[in-house]
Structure 1
């Protein structure tokens, strides 16, 4: 029998209060940092003014960052993208690595002529802050997901424009899988460094569902390792890590003007890099039903790739559903519906468990000899 937490109704207020306190702390740091002076040093001969809200409700922010508008004396506009102060933020050294990697990804794409904002960065960061500057870009963000876009007539143009961007991105290749980082020597050379590790059995992730989370990842690992359709690759590609739709800035006709929010971007296989973005998935078919078949927008993207002379990228969309499920399951909380969808993409039977407990008991039997599971059960 389950009962509701008596303080449940107060959770939204607690969250809002915590968010306000974190933004107040950030405001204090920003006012003492003098970001305008640093922007001026990156654009010699000009002075700038940055707008820091006095009311925390006026911040333009996403899940991880705030955006501060900055205007120079000649009318040129930048924005400062500043990492929020959050209770779950990684250590300061890791935050520096994340920012440097995002900056390097943007620089590489801009040098290749891709539609991304120009980036300006100094490693001499103000204490306790992580940030960089970008050209202000016009346009409005598309909907996340695209199926909820408020002007459906723009959707075909958005998808065609996205296909053109991805084709241009496919010209940018790398020799390894990983994340882009600047050269430690400070030279112009870029390096492909490691991705972040995640830990479950050590108790660093999923502390309230450690056993089920570990079992889910064991099953995912088994499917991936035993799949014989991966193929051999020696060329790799850059992928956006948060492609839910609002990373696409569009003009009134639906043409993409810029692609933004490249935090956590990584280099991966062609098949994963050019699978359809989650922005094009149907919420009902994918999230609610875990369907492994392509939806209408994904079929439209395939057709655009074919019409633009890239049937190879159309094939990536056709076979790419497994990457969407893997992206939403690996390193995340276990989800029964999505797990069934992943099983289907690997030609496995959908289990259709009614309860998580039923799933957990089944998986315990399947992986009963796994030493990590035995160790975890001793701690549970």
Structure 2
């Protein structure tokens, strides 16, 4: 699908560039860090006050080619949503986040049958996505139909905020991946606030320093509701890994945020035990049978 970038308005200021490596926290002196997080919180408060005139989760599109008539919710064309390997490719819009994540998981399973994503661990990746599917199907929070939707920027790395010489935000750029979603997902902290080695490889779901500061800033603004979105954001953070299986993931970290677990669901903690358990649990899944037949069990599975 060809997409063109074009400017509709010139925004002054300069990007608020942040030094952040995926394996560690934001690297700024404390006063600058707090100034940045305060500015981010203020922009989020403003976003939370916007009226979003749609009732489906998805990207916003004009209802007609000439752009007249407001906006409608359409398919997801975002940084955090898989496409389908089959036409029309883009997924959505959706009534609930459960619908959205199940569609993404099913797309990941289809890609797995094609041998996409990874050259190894294809069986393990398929099993992991089957587990995620079962957990998402059982998750009551994701099944709730929202009464109101909000805008998530989905590319909030700091440099999406344009600031002046007084460190005041004068505009927001890079809206190409923005979409309408639930309050919980819209105001969960972006990755710049929480990704580090403990989160990625040790399954640590605890709040990070920068998330705690963000909560403090929301409380200062009188927005306990947005602070709660940060506290409960790990559910959406973990599900952003759909389609990105890694043997280093602590699988229990995903179960922790997607619980309570289905009745009788009790996989072993060790990886080999997990594989054997899942092979038995999903032995009747036709997709799993095809993956094993096509790729075999000798690629580290």
TM-score range, shorter chain: 0.7 to 0.9
2:206 equivalent to 1:293: yes
What's the CA shift for 1:270?
Answer: 1.1
**1:211–1:270 distance in 2 versus 1, CA, 3 Å:** same
Q: Matched residue of 1:323: which SS? A: helix
Q: Is residue 142 from structure 1 mapped to residue 15 from structure 2 by the alignment?
A: no
**Residue in 2 that maps onto 1:95:** 2
Structure 1 residue 291: deviation in Å?
0.8
**Aligned ranges for residues 244-255 of structure 1 at < 5 Å?**
244-250=157-163, 254-255=167-168
Q: Distance in 2 between matches of 1:149 and 1:179?
A: 32
Flag the structure with larger Rg: 1
Distance 1:155 1:163 in 2: 12
User: Higher RCO, 1 or 2 (CA under 8 Å, sep at least 6)?
Assistant: 2
Q: Which residue is equivalent to 1:340?
A: 252
TM-score relative to the length of structure 2: 0.73
| Deviation at residue 257 of structure 1 after TM alignment | 4.0
Distance 1:341 1:242, change over 3 A: farther
Residue 321 of structure 1 is matched in structure 2 by 234
Aligned to 2:104: none
Note closer, same or farther for the CA distance 1:293–1:162 as it changes in structure 2 (3 Å cut): same
Counterpart residue number, 1:220: 132
1:206 equivalent in structure 2: 117
Counterpart for residue 36 of structure 2: 158
Q: Deviations along 1:82-105, whole A, 9 cap, x unmatched?
A: xxxxxxxxxxxx232xx57xx7xx
Change (3 A) 1:207 1:200: same
Shift of 1:168: 0.8
Distance in 2 between residues matched to 1:233 and 1:297, nearest whole Å: 28
Q: Look up the SS of the partner of 1:287 in the other structure.
A: helix
Q: Distance in 1 between matches of 2:167 and 2:202?
A: 29
RMSD: 2.9
Counterpart CA distance in 2 for 1:137 and 1:338 is 42
Aligned length: 253
Shift in CA distance, 379/149, structure 1 to aligned 2, threshold 3 Å: same
**Deviation digits for residues 94-143 of structure 1, max 9, x if unmatched?**
232xx57xx7xxxxxxxxxxxxxxx32xxxxxxxxxxxx85464244123
- Mind listing any 5+ residue stretches in structure 2 that lack a counterpart? 77-82, 85-106, 296-301
2:285 to 370, 376, 380: 370
Instruction: After TM superposition, list the pairs within 5 Å mapping 1:1-380 onto structure 2.
Output: 94-96=1-3, 99=4, 119-120=7-8, 135=11, 137-144=13-20, 147-172=25-50, 173=52, 174-189=54-69, 190-195=71-76, 196-197=83-84, 198=107, 199-203=110-114, 205-208=116-119, 209-230=121-142, 231-250=144-163, 254-327=167-240, 329-347=241-259, 352-353=269-270, 359-380=274-295
Return 5+ residue gaps in structure 1 as ranges.
Answer: 1-93, 104-118, 121-132
State the TM-score, normalizing by the size of structure 1: 0.59
Cα deviation for residue 160 of structure 1 reads 1.4
The offset of 1:205, in angstroms, is 2.9
SS at match of 1:212: helix
Cα deviation for residue 210 of structure 1 reads 3.0
**CA distance in structure 1 between the partners assigned to 2:192 and 2:150 by the alignment:** 19
Q: For residue 303 of structure 1, report the CA deviation from its aligned partner.
A: 2.0
Question: Which structure's residues are more often strand, by fraction?
Answer: 1
Q: Which residue is 2:89 aligned to?
A: none
Summarize the Cα distance change of 1:252–1:296 in structure 2 as closer, same or farther, 3 Å threshold. Answer: farther
Deviation, structure 1 residue 280 = 0.8
